Amino acid sequence: MSPRAIRWLLFGALVLALPVPMLGPFGGLVPPVRTAFLLGATALVAAMEGAAGPVLGILMLFAMQLALGLALAWLLAWGASRLLAGLGEGLRGGVALAVVAVLLIAASSVEVYETSFGREPRASLLGLVP
């Protein structure tokens, strides 16, 4: 597996599972994909009802949160792919797949996320699904 493919694979897994602190008054730890969902829902509210009141501020807060989460995921994926680049092609692909598997299994099994907008205050990756 090429370093570029590993970088994209790790980036995708981190976007799904990396707990990132939320900005603003909401608090919590959520993966970037959850922030993207909240951004989309807020954008729909703004489109349907208008961006008056706090809607525009919340929309901007979620956009900044998503940008920071994606940037952090990209930097971590880039760094990990650079670390793995020295290994042989088969070995680095196996290590990358193992890291992704461990990350996704751990995120699905352990309640590492603190949710402001969820059913429960703490959740695993599977508990974040609306």
pLDDT tens-digit map of 68-118 = 999 999 999 999 999 998 888 889 889 999 999 999 999 888 888 887 766
pLDDT at 119: 67
Strand 113-114, strand 20-21: pairing: unpaired
CA 5 from chain centre, in angstroms, equals 18
Euclidean distance between CA atoms 33 and 15, whole angstroms: 6
Q: Please name the residue that has the structure tokens 């670390």.
A: 83
pTM: 0.86
pLDDT tens-digit map of 25-42 = 777 888 999 899 989 998
Euclidean distance between CA atoms 72 and 29, whole angstroms: 14
Residue ranges of the domains in the chain?
3-128
Contacts of 69 (CB under 8 A, 6+ apart): 15, 18, 20, 31, 32, 35
pLDDT at 102: 93
pLDDT band at 57 (very low <50, low <70, confident <90, very high): confident
